[in-house]
Chains A and B, each alone.
With several copies, the nearest count.
Chain A
Amino acid sequence: MSILVDKNTRLLVQGITGSEGLFHTTQMVNYGTNVVAGVTPGKGGEWVLDKVPVFDSVKLAVEATGANASIIFVPARFAPDAMFEAADAGIPLVICITEGVAVQDMMRVRNYLDQKNVRLIGPNCPGLLTPGEAKVGIIPGNIAIPGNVGVVSRSGTLTYEVLYALKQVGMGSSTCVGIGGDPVNGTNFIDVLDMFEHDPKTEKVVMIGEIGGTDEEKAAEFISSKMTKPVVSFIAGQTAPPGKRMGHAGAIIEGGAGTAADKVRALESAGVRVAKHPEEIPSLLK
């Protein structure tokens, strides 16, 4: 068992012939992920790695291969269209790795995908890893082993640190979900915490947050009211300078929340143990 992706996931790669797409498709295939198709407009009919057929459109790829999840590696200015295309082709799970998608585009994408009940992970995220079953993203496969720890994170490489630290002490994870750090994204902490709470394979949860926004605060509320499984957390940016503010409006809309100290306080009040640095997490899980 696992959440979101497993051995039965039939994965499509949008942007499969680009340099990133091709590199990570190779990694995913080598990991054992069931990559059934790729899409690059204008390259339909080609093959990747001698085994993955390339199509001109998501619709054609889905018709031919029954793909039921799609991962997006296309450049930022084309990524919104790729997400719309996947949603319109009926794909229920879309993972967008692409970094730098414009925020007004993302608001349109998110509102449209919600209407279609499409689950979006990302953008600007490392994707998903269910160790031993499926790697759907860019998390290096060799840094994690199967286990009972569910990992959810807003940060990319910081997630790798945590998985790596867990592996060093022989701890494995059920599924690792990188939700991405963009202001408007597809899936938030609460969505994933809820999945972990209902996943029989997951016994403990690690949540990796960072400064900005109020997702961690909301997660703390959710943990204290809805979760029975223990949660350990780390919040990045404790020493970050206040940085460039979004004028008055940013302060008003978030009501002064969003600092690392606020988040740590909220999480600790919810019974979450918060690590001082990522490598401290394994000991807090014991």
Chain B
Amino acid sequence: MKLHEYQSKQIFSKFGIPIPKGRVAATASEARQIAEELGGRVVIKSQVLVGGRGKAGGVKLAKDPQEAEQLATQILGMEIKGLPVRKVLVDEAAAIDQEIYFAITNDRAAKKPVIMASAAGGVDIEEVAATHPEKIIKVHIDPLLGLRDYQARDIAASMDLPREYWKDFGTIANGLWKAYSSTDATLAEINPLVITKDKRLVALDGKMMIDDNALFRHSDLSEMRDIDEEAPAETEARKYGLSFIKLDGNIGCMVNGAGLAMTSMDIVKLFGGEPANFLDIGGGAGSEKVAAAMRIILSDPNVKAVLFNIFGGITRCDEVAKGILAAMAEVKPKVPMVVRLVGTNAEEGRQLLADAKMITAETLADAAKKAVAAAKGA
């Protein structure tokens, strides 16, 4: 789950990381009021859950409350990469001397959290990483021990951060580690962490991503989810524990297992079709979950055929069949359906579906070909 900049920075602040003064606004007049409270120049920052908003014009500097209102009006009317801007963060503007990149994320290869830091922070950090990887400092954290103070100092020294900032940097590093570890984050990123002209370290921008699998122990964070930023189908899918991504094709896919779901898409494409979605019903899905999955697929008007590819293991084919039947009774679909059931309780599943007038397939390739043909014929 991604958090907005303003949410991430609230968490940072809770753990002792200095952030600019500021508040979030949903209307231009609120933005003006915040700018009045702050005094001086302010930055109006669109709060959307995609990258590149600066380059898209979603971040602007205002010299006074009046300009803040004008710019907020303009930004609140924008769409960035297809997402409407519904909120802006109004922050006091900072006079910047240097931009530092500073993040903690998971290193899957090392099986440990890793700190990444660079004195060359800012919007071009990915380019720095690609062209000057030696400018990115990486330090692993022992997950049983946590970040050690000496590690923060080593990073500060490796970045050639002037010594006068080491102590504050240590506080920020410790705060970022706590923010990351106490929220089950997969990413806690400050970019940029700036040195201001009046010699303070401030987290000017922040980004956090929370491990969905850990939300059960963070009800406070779950409430931060911004469902306005999701396609309604994805919100619905998450409610049922389904993994769903909408795509542009016309063949709806319902598969168990992410690998097999991707493979099914690959084969549909290999045989000339275009998948309408990625949908993994996960392991051990019951009939209710399957029915929800089917409703979600059929809610897409582009879908001209549906491919069910279920290889039962922990998932039982009879449960899947029951879910399909339940959803069909409710939604009464008009598109052709190709179904392939193999593995655990496949026989029982096939019997349940025997009267449902579905196209059946034996192999994966056969199923994909039939789905492609059905979509074209429809």
Chain B residue numbers with a CB within 8 Å of A160 are 311, 313, 342-343
Q: Are B257 and A158 in contact (CB under 8 A)?
A: yes
Contact B154 A57 (CB under 8 A): yes
Complex contacts, B267 vs chain A, CB 8 Å: 277
**A250 & B313 in contact (Cβ 8 Å cutoff):** no
Contact of A84 (CB < 8 Å), options: B114, B116, B150? B150
Q: Is A239 positioned at the interface, with any CB of B under 8 Å from its CB? A: yes
How far, in whole Å, are A44 and B138 apart by their CA atoms in the complex? Answer: 21
Complex partner residue of A140 from B209, B269, B282, B343, CB under 8 angstroms: B343
Q: With A and B bound together, what is the CA distance between A278 and B142 in angstroms?
A: 39
Complex Cα distance, B236 from A130, in Å, reads: 40
User: Are A154 and B259 in touch, CB under 8 angstroms?
Assistant: yes
B257/A156 in contact, CB under 8 A: yes
Inter-chain CA distance A106–B186, complex, in Å, is 12
- For B280, give the chain A residue with the smallest CB separation: A157
Task: State in angstroms the CA–CA spacing of A112 and B43 once bound together.
Answer: 46
What size tier do the contact residues of chain B reach?
Answer: 35 or more
What is the chain A residue whose CB lies nearest that of B109? A214
Residues of B contacting A268 in the complex (Cβ-Cβ under 8 angstroms): none
Q: Which of A204-253 contact B (CB under 8 A)?
A: 208, 210-211, 213-215, 218, 234, 236-241, 243-253
Instruction: Give the one of A88, A211, A214, A218 with max B CB within 10 A.
Output: A88
A15 CB within 8 Å of chain B: no
Task: Compute how far the CA of A152 lies from the CA of B278 in the bound complex, rounded to whole angstroms.
Answer: 24
Q: Are B111 and A155 in contact (CB under 8 A)?
A: no
Within the assembled complex, what's the spacing in Å between the Cα atoms of A202 and B106? 35
Q: For the complex, give the distance between the alpha carbons of A251 and B112 in Å.
A: 17
Which of A57, A77, A213, A239 neighbours the largest number of chain B CB atoms within 10 Å of its CB? A239
A residues in contact with B315, CB < 8 Å: 157
Partner of B260, one of A24, A112, A161: A161
Indicate the member of A81, A97, A103 with the most B CB atoms within 10 Å: A103
Q: Mark B82-96, 1 if CB is under 8 A from A, else 0.
A: 000000000000000
In Å, the complex CA distance between A214 and B153 comes to: 30
A111 within 8 A of B: yes
A213's nearest neighbour on chain B, judged by CB, is: B108
Q: Does A184 contact B (CB under 8 A)?
A: yes
A contact residues, total (Cβ < 8 Å): 85
Taking the nearest CB of chain A, how far is it from the CB of B190, in angstroms? 11
Please measure, in the bound complex, the distance between the C-alpha atom of A14 and the C-alpha atom of B264, giving whole angstroms: 33
Most chain A CB inside 10 Å of its own CB: which residue of B153, B217, B258, B343: B258
Q: Is the CB of B283 within 8 A of A99?
A: yes
Tell me whether A138 and B313 are in contact in the complex, defined as CB-CB below 8 angstroms, given that A181-B258, A237-B266 are known contacts. yes
Please name the residue on chain A nearest to B130 by beta carbon. Answer: A256
Are A161 and B311 in contact (CB-based, < 8 A)?
A: yes
Question: Restricting to B297-319, which residues have a CB under 8 Å from any CB of A?
Answer: 311-316
Q: How far is the CA of A214 from the CA of B110 in the complex (A)?
A: 11
In the complex, residue of chain B having the shortest beta-carbon distance to the beta carbon of A19: B284
Task: State whether the Cβ of B211 lies closer than 8 Å to any Cβ in chain A.
Answer: yes
Q: Determine whether the beta carbon of A278 is less than 8 Å from that of B109.
A: no
B66 at the A/B interface (Cβ < 8 Å)? Answer: no
Q: Which of B101, B107, B278, B343 has the most CB of A within 10 A?
A: B343
The answer to whether B213 and A248 touch across the interface, beta carbons within 8 angstroms, is: no
Contact with A along B267-309 (1 / 0, CB 8 A): 1011000010010001110000000000000000000000000
B172: Cβ under 8 A from any A Cβ: no
Residues of chain B within 8 A (CB-CB) of A143 are: 342-343
| Contacts A108-B143, A240-B262 given; does A277 touch B364 at CB 8 Å | yes
B interface, CB within 8 angstroms of A: 2, 51, 101, 103, 105-109, 111-114, 116, 125-126, 129-130, 133, 136, 138, 142-145, 148-150, 153-154, 157, 163, 166, 181, 184, 186-187, 189, 191, 207, 209, 211, 213-214, 216-217, 245, 247, 255-260, 262-263, 265-267, 269-270, 275, 278, 282-284, 311-316, 342-344, 363-365
Contact sample, A vs B, 14 pairs, CB 8 Å cutoff: A58-B150, A104-B184, A106-B111, A107-B111, A155-B257, A157-B257, A160-B313, A161-B260, A165-B363, A210-B258, A211-B262, A237-B263, A250-B105, A253-B116
Interface residues of A, Cβ cutoff 8 Å to B:
20, 23-24, 27, 41-42, 44, 56-60, 76-78, 81-82, 84-85, 88, 97, 99-108, 110-112, 124, 126, 138-140, 143, 153-161, 164-165, 181, 183-184, 208, 210-211, 213-215, 218, 234, 236-241, 243-253, 255-256, 276-279
